[in-house]
A and B are shown apart, each in its own frame.
Chain A
Amino acid sequence: MRRSETLVQWSLALVALFAIAALALIIIFIFKEGSPIIARLGIVEFIMGTKWSPSRGTFGILPMILGSFWVTLSALVIGVPIGLASAIFLAEMAPSGTSRILKFAIQLLAGIPSVVFGFIGLVILVPLIRQWLGGPGFSVLAAGIVLGIMILPTIVSVCYDVFKAVPQAYREGMIALGATRWQTIRMVVLPAARPGIIAAIILGMGRAVGETMAVIMVAGNATKIPVSLLEPVRTLTSNIALEMGYAVGEHREALFATGIVLFIIIAILNTLARVVARVEKV
């Protein structure tokens, strides 16, 4: 009995270690491939440089950093209100039958491959923007809308679980005081769920920053810093995916270096999410 217990424990530890080893290997690899060029150009030159022209040896990724920032921000502006509203409706207001069907539908949304989102964006959204708002259609706005829809499942399902975790007694207490349902939600449920909502937003943000395929298809991928929502834009992930196929030498190193920057941004986001959640809980 004791023996098999130890065996299970060790094998589970080994499997867990495997996941960590994979992460460590990935980190070592991208840093090994990408850091030489950062060292050569200087970190400031690399991340503050406004011009990306690999064939001329100019590697500045500020346009892509800002591109990722603007695209992610617009995705959040679109996705968070809709996601939060859906989660409130599903958790607090909808009859259980309706809620179950809608939850199922939102889970289905999560199962749609990103290339399909990108394709629909390309054939429907991009021409609509071009026709009604002007510009080439490929834009920060197009990418923001597509990503805003793509992060909905994450935001809805995390918020839904958080709302469900708010003790029923809180709500009953509010109703006993004569509060309406909306007052209960606004004054009790939402404040109680705040750390969870912030975590949901940051998870959605991570998804938006990391998404590649759909963004390549609708963002236009120009390497200029966008000055309006209607201008084409290139994100960090698109930069890697677009040019990886052919890149050799310095160009390839610069793409790995782009990966390092992306990795650091995502690490900061995740740490932030944890810190915020912890501070809020206390």
Chain B
Amino acid sequence: MAGSTSVQPFAELLADEYMDEAENMIINVQGGGSSAGARSALSGVAEIGMLSRKLQGDEKALIPTTIAYDAIAVVVHPSNPCQDLGIEEIRDIFAGNATDWSEVQGEARKIHPVAREEGSGTRGAFDEIIMGEVEVSPGAIVQDSNGAVREIVAGDPSAIGYISLGLVDKRVKAIAVQGVFPSIDTVADNTYKLVRPMILATRENPVKEADSFISFCLSEKAQSMLAQEGLIPVAAVQSGKAQPGE
């Protein structure tokens, strides 16, 4: 299997567990990004493509299985009084239209937006949900991992960034988006908007092994492992009112 580097660590975790259980199974997990994942599943290079976004265009020939949801938390320094931003406010900040915290919430101080690099799944989901057609300001700091973004926000009282909910810790503060704080519950009832699916996609008639690995990913054990890693299990979302992102 190959694809999104956002799904990769979780897929590796599940693959290790699965290989311990099933004899003679070897699962090879590779990165490359969501688009590369879909393409290698389509071309047959990989049996399973990993995506951290919905299928697009000709990728829809693949059969997607959502194994979990990931919320993207907007984070600021713990000392920042800002608690809640609207989608428009976040868009203005990252587009470079709002450059001072006093323009949104808080004291007069320059805003230092921290974005992810072009091509990253997290960036893709953030751009799609928050930015829409608006471009991220070229003046924004760019880092190439969730960890690096967290490191900057933890150290800079003026910074604002976005990272996977599972990686939020005490050193940064996740703020509410449109009045809703990110959590398993708010993702499940579809009130928190910054959510992306983690998808495993196969061709129409997948090999038996691919099929059984995907079933394993949906098993109770695998789902609770994913929940421990900070992802939101599929069941939690499906028992909620609606599918996120729809």
Contacts and interface: CB of A to CB of B under 8 A. Distances in A.
Interface in B118-146: 118-120, 127, 135, 137-144
Interface stretch (A6-14, A188-196, A197-205, A238-246): A238-246
Interface stretch (B10-18, B30-38, B236-244): B30-38
Given A53-B135, A246-B36, A251 B119 contact: yes
A222 interface: yes
Interface extent on B, as a size class? 20 to 34
B36 A248 contact: yes
Contact of B117 (A53, A56, A136, A243): A243
A122 B156 CA distance: 12
Interface string B87-118: 00000000000000000000000101000011
B138 to A, nearest CB: 4
Interface in A181-223: 216-217, 220-223
Interface in B151-184: 151-152, 155-156, 158-159
B223 interface: no
A220 B118 contact: no
Nearest to A234: B142
Interface residues of A, number: 32
Nearest to A252: B119
Contact of A63 (B112, B138, B158): B138
B141 A222 contact: yes
B5 interface: yes
A224 interface: yes
Contacts of B120: 246
A247 interface: yes
A137 B118 contact: no
B127 A222 contact: no
B218 to A, nearest CB: 27
A54 B159 CA distance: 25
Given A53-B118, A137-B156, A221 B33 contact: no
A59 to B, nearest CB: 11
A171 interface: no
B165 to A, nearest CB: 21
Interface in A100-144: 122, 126-127, 130, 135-138
Contacts of B148: 217
A246 B33 contact: yes
B118 A138 contact: no
Nearest to A134: B110
Contacts of A222: 138-142
A247 B35 CA distance: 9
A221 B143 CA distance: 7
Contacts of A234: 142
A223 B142 contact: yes
Contacts of B35: 246, 248
A127 B141 contact: no
A56 B135 contact: yes
Nearest to B120: A246
Contacts of A130: 155-156
Nearest to B35: A248
A71 B135 CA distance: 26
Given A245-B119, A248-B35, A221 B141 contact: yes
A47 to B, nearest CB: 17
A53 B142 CA distance: 13
Nearest to A136: B112
Interface in A19-74: 51-56, 63
B45 to A, nearest CB: 13
Contacts of B36: 246, 248
A146 B241 CA distance: 52
A148 interface: no
B155 A248 contact: no
Interface string B35-63: 11001000000000000000000000000
Given A54-B119, A242-B117, A248-B35, A136 B158 contact: yes
Interface of A: 51-56, 63, 122, 126-127, 130, 135-138, 216-217, 220-224, 231-232, 234, 242-243, 245-248, 251
19 contacts: A53-B118, A55-B119, A122-B151, A138-B141, A138-B152, A217-B148, A220-B142, A221-B141, A222-B139, A224-B137, A231-B139, A232-B141, A243-B118, A245-B119, A246-B32, A246-B35, A246-B117, A248-B39, A251-B118
Interface of B: 5, 31-33, 35-36, 39, 110, 112, 117-120, 127, 135, 137-144, 148, 151-152, 155-156, 158-159
What 7 A-B pairs have minimum CB-CB distances, sorted nearest first?
A: A246-B119, A246-B33, A221-B142, A224-B138, A136-B112, A220-B141, A223-B138
